[in-house]
């Protein structure tokens, strides 16, 4: 297990055109050490996929992918607001080679800003993975390449004995603002009141590092979020945190996450076919294995796979 870095990989960034970055209080949450393993092999440009790209992308020779900077091990944004590492960065590098264009990254402040920017055409897409839900499909389309689970990061020993979301009445739970976990935990809080139990104190933060820091500092009893990034954070916590609620539905049906484009964008099917090619040629599996997300792999990329 690595020690906390004195300077976080996710520092405060200079903002571009209203873009945000991770707050100062998130510094020190992520370690600078990256997974080992060989990078995936370079991809050969697929002319047929390139020909299907929007004219704007072909003329510019690039696509702009937006992220909110704090979803390790998928997205780990640099302090410049444009560099990115993680499984999603490796996927976008391979995808860009395959499509024959450069994929550039821009970090903004929170998921709502990302989704709004994509829907308005300000950004071409988000490589994600972003949670695919039917309400989000109204304004955006999802190209799913990850299956996810939602669990809790808790202090070592799980002092509040959280076995599932049913055990959270009366606790202080941190969540990502605007995310699906926030909606579930607020719904659970209302159910607690109906059952005559204390409500949940919901602490909503704009990024993952601040949310997990609330637990490690004792301000929150647990952080409720996707299992893949929580596994990453727990591994960096020097034995101070552990996962709880694994193997439980925790208020969710099957969860899919993926790249995001504007509704009915011509880029949607190009991304789906490009990601599928990376799956078929083994590149996707190598990237997912490298970043410790083997359990989150899908066999096929899909569009708007969420049904609820």
Confidence of residue 295 (pLDDT cuts 50, 70, 90): confident
Predicted pLDDT at 167:
98
Predicted pLDDT at 38:
55
Length of the chain: 308
Confidence of residue 11 (pLDDT cuts 50, 70, 90): very low
Q: How far apart are CA 233 and CA 73, in angstroms?
A: 9
- Helix 267-280 × helix 283-290 angle, to 10°: 80
| 24-56 pLDDT tens trace | 333 344 444 456 555 567 999 999 999 999 999
Q: Is 277 within 8 Å of 98 (Cβ atoms)?
A: yes
Q: How far apart are CA 165 and CA 197, in angstroms?
A: 14
Of 105-119, 131-145, 218-232, the least confident: 105-119
Task: For tokens 């809080």, name the residue.
Answer: 189
Task: For tokens 């790249």, name the residue.
Answer: 259
- Mean pLDDT for 104-123 is 90
pTM of the predicted model as reported, rounded to 2 decimal places: 0.75
Q: Is 66 within 8 Å of 117 (Cβ atoms)?
A: yes
DSSP 295: G
Q: What is the DSSP string of 43-93?
A: PPP-HHHHHTS-HHHHHHTEEEEEE-SEETTTEEE-TTSS-EESHHHHHHH
| 202-232 pLDDT tens trace | 999 988 889 999 999 999 999 999 999 899 8
115 or 172, which is more confident?
172
Alpha-carbon 215 to chain mean position: 19
Residues 6 or more apart in contact with residue 133 via CB below 8 angstroms: 180, 306, 308
- Residue in 199, 228, 233 with CA at minimum distance from that of residue 216: 233
Give yes or no for residue 69 having a pLDDT over 80: no
């Amino acid at each position: 297990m690595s020690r906390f870095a004195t300077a976080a990989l996710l520092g405060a960034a200079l903002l571009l055109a209203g873009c945000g970055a991770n707050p100062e209080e998130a510094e020190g949450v992520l370690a600078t050490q990256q997974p080992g393993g060989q990078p995936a092999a370079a991809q050969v440009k697929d002319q047929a996929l390139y020909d299907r790209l929007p004219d704007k992308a072909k003329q510019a020779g690039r696509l702009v992918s937006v992220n909110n900077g704090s979803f390790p091990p998928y997205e780990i944004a640099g302090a410049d607001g444009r560099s990115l590492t993680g499984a999603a960065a490796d996927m976008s590098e391979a995808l860009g080679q395959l499509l024959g264009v450069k994929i550039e990254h821009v970090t903004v402040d929170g998921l709502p800003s990302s989704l709004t920017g994509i829907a308005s055409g300000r950004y071409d897409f988000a490589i994600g993975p972003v949670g695919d839900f039917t309400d989000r499909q109204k304004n955006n389309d999802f190209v799913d390449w990850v299956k996810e689970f939602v669990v809790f990061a808790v202090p070592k020993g799980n002092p509040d004995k959280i076995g599932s979301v049913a055990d959270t009445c009366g606790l202080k739970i941190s969540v990502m603002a605007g995310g699906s976990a926030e909606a579930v935990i607020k719904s659970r809080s209302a159910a607690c009141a109906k059952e005559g139990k204390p409500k949940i104190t919901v602490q909503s933060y704009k990024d993952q590092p601040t949310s997990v820091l609330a637990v490690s500092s004792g301000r929150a009893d647990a952080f409720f979020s996707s299992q893949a990034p929580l596994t990453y954070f727990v591994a960096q916590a020097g034995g101070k945190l552990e996962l709880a609620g694994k193997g439980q539905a925790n208020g969710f049906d099957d969860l899919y996450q993926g790249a995001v484009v504007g509704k009915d964008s011509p880029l949607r099917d190009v991304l789906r076919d490009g990601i599928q090619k990376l799956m078929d040629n083994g590149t996707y599996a190598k990237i997912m294995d490298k970043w410790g997300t083997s359990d989150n792999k899908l066999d096929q990329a899909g569009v708007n796979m969420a049904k609820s």
